[in-house]
Amino acid sequence: MAAAEKAMATTTAMTVDNNSGSDGGNAVTSGKRGGESSKRMRERERLCPLGYAKWNDMLPTYKVELLRVIESKFVLPPSTHDFVMKSLNRKWKEYRAQLKKDYMRQGMTEEEVARNCPPDVPPHQWMELVHYWFSERAQTYSAIGRAARAAQSVPHTSGSKSYARLRQEFEDEHGREPGQVEFYRMTHTHQDGTFVRDESRDLYERATSLIAERDDESAASTQQSRIEAEVFTELMGSERYDRVRGYGVGVTPTQLSEVSRYTQHAAADAQDSRVRRLEAEIQEIRQSRAAEMEEMRQSRAEMQAMRGQIDRLTSLLEMYGSSQAPGTSGIRRDSGTSRGDNDDHPPAD
């Protein structure tokens, strides 16, 4: 998941990075900056067009191209694609909201906003986006969003670190997942342990009090987790359809059901078993390889010993041959002389 988050940061910087404008440098710098701005505009037009009313209305071809760009830069398993697309959806909406904040003021007409096109946004997309902002549909969504933000009186303190990373760090340290109330405390307190708001402290105290009333110390851990989840839902309200509090982007209530958890654990166990089997096979191959190398070393030593023996035998044979060479040549000379004498003096009549 961390790798997917890194991919999101890099891709967002490429596709929805807002240009801060020129600082009045020399002509070379301005030309280079203008070229980079034009490149970003072309990339944004190709990858993340702004003219669609909603992310779901965007053509799938754009989203496929985004995934291809990310996969060309990072090694991500296919299981992260859903998280990647949801993260891009959020970044796309945040960028559009930032454009609206920077270029649209109260009392401005649609024509006035449309004339003030940002330097690195394609003009035709800017016209479509401004037209959407002034539509009745967008005005309704904007009012709902303002009301929702006004109702959020308790901010979290996790900063830029995602809930997924916080949960993983807790699980690595404690060997278990944090409970919902426990995780709420983690994400709504400062480093010194004080709550960020009085409302968050009151909610936590009520939750712990209700859990203590219903909890049985002899109950199993799964039963205690269920009680904690029930108390948290009573105090915070039901979950939304497409997300779960405390889990961040990409997690739905269906994925946290008992059946889904059992399936996930079974798949994880099967994966772990496969990894262990592969590790055993690798270890066996390493041991076999080490035995073969040892046999090769022993064979090499034996061959060297035999070569030494052959060299010694060869040396002895050479010494023996050189010691016998003079006598042998004398015998041959005597034999030759006798035959020669007989030939020179034939027998008498």
In a domain, 341, yes or no: no
Q: Show the tokens assigned to 326.
A: 């003079």
Domain end position, chosen among 198, 213, 245: 245
Looking at the fold, whether 53 and 103 belong to one and the same domain comes out as: yes
Looking at the fold, whether 10 and 89 belong to one and the same domain comes out as: yes
Total length of the chain: 349
**Beta-carbon-side half-sphere exposure of residue 269 (alpha carbons within 13 Å):** 6
Looking at the fold, whether 167 and 148 belong to one and the same domain comes out as: no
Ranges of H-type helices in the chain: 2-15, 27-47, 60-73, 81-103, 110-115, 123-133, 136-151, 163-174, 180-187, 198-214, 221-236, 258-344
Domain end position, chosen among 112, 136, 152: 152
pLDDT at 110: 93
Looking at the fold, whether 39 and 138 belong to one and the same domain comes out as: yes
Looking at the fold, whether 201 and 294 belong to one and the same domain comes out as: no
pTM listed for this prediction: 0.52
Looking at the fold, whether 147 and 159 belong to one and the same domain comes out as: no
pLDDT per 10-residue tile (average), the chain, 349 residues: 49 42 36 53 74 88 89 85 86 91 92 92 92 92 84 75 84 85 86 85 87 68 73 75 66 58 58 82 90 89 88 84 61 47 50
Looking at the fold, whether 18 and 83 belong to one and the same domain comes out as: yes
Nearest to 239 by CA among 165, 176, 180, 156: 180
Question: Residue 196 gets which letter from DSSP?
Answer: S
Q: For the chain, how many structural domains are there in total?
A: 3
In a domain, 337, yes or no: no
Looking at the fold, whether 146 and 176 belong to one and the same domain comes out as: no
In a domain, 126, yes or no: yes
pLDDT at 25: 37
pLDDT at 132: 92
Rounded Cα distance, 48 and 17, in Å: 11
| Domain housing 55 | 1-152
pLDDT at 129: 93
Looking at the fold, whether 124 and 172 belong to one and the same domain comes out as: no
Looking at the fold, whether 64 and 134 belong to one and the same domain comes out as: yes
Looking at the fold, whether 131 and 26 belong to one and the same domain comes out as: yes
C-alpha torsion sign, points 176, 168, 90, 85: negative
pLDDT at 117: 93
